[in-house]
């Protein structure tokens, strides 16, 4: 089955979501699966929480954000976004799971208040333009992104129109925790082809924040 997304846990295990409606966890050293979670629909995205090694998230084609606990057989968290959850990212400083969906909106869910969407932002060129479906997210932060850090950085959103939009994220006062949405800084025109939308990553100078590469 088609694998839609890959990510890493804090313990170095590999996460994968796929069209077989599962979220799988692999031990890379032994090349064996550790466990598998049923997602009820196609798995489109996945992310691990750095502050909670027992909890991983998957976004599905039915618009669900599912938090899977290694200690339980059922989802510990179920959030209904509505549109397909195409992309996930995480901000450690604000304890937010960031989402990009098929309707073209960026959202932040506060994991300290599980049912709370703290902000929602249309991924568009202009405020009056139609939002563009998000295909991938990557957050690169300046300096310390720990619980005492600012979480300030840049959020890149790849879109189904072939463009990458970069947003200023966070600030010294922890704006995201107060429900303030990111500010769009720049739009980059990506590759025009018949392939799937591009994936983007960011590297912020010498802060050591590297992405997972850019590919068509």
**Strand order, beta sheet including 85-91:** 85-91, 96-101, 105-110, 116-122
Mean pLDDT of 132-142: 89
Residue of 79, 89, 118, 82 whose CA lies nearest to 103 = 82
- 8 - beta bridge partners? 14
d(CA 21, CA 33): 16
Residue 193 scores a pLDDT above 70: no
- Rounded to two decimals, the pTM is 0.82
Residue 2's pLDDT band, with cuts at 50, 70 and 90, is confident
């Amino acid at each position: 089955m088609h694998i839609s997304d890959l990510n890493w846990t804090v313990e170095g295990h590999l996460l994968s979501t796929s069209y077989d409606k599962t979220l799988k966890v692999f031990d890379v050293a032994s090349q064996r699966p550790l466990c598998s979670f049923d997602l009820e629909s196609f798995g489109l995205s996945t992310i691990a929480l750095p502050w909670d090694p027992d909890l991983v998230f998957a976004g599905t084609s039915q618009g669900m954000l599912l938090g899977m606990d290694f200690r339980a057989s059922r989802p510990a968290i179920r959030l209904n976004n509505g549109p397909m959850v195409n992309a996930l990212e995480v901000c450690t400083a604000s304890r937010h799971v960031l989402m990009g969906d098929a309707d073209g909106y960026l959202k932040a869910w506060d994991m300290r208040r599980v049912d709370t969407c703290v902000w929602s932002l249309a991924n568009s060129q202009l405020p009056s333009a139609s939002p563009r479906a998000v295909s991938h997210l990557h957050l690169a932060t300046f300096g310390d992104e720990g619980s005492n850090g600012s979480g300030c950085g840049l959020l890149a959103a790849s879109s189904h129109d072939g463009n990458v939009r970069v947003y200023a994220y966070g600030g010294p006062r922890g704006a995201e925790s107060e429900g303030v949405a990111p500010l769009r800084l720049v739009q980059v025109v990506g590759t025009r082809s018949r392939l799937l939308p591009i994936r983007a990553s960011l590297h912020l100078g010498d802060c050591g924040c590297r992405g997972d590469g850019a590919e068509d």
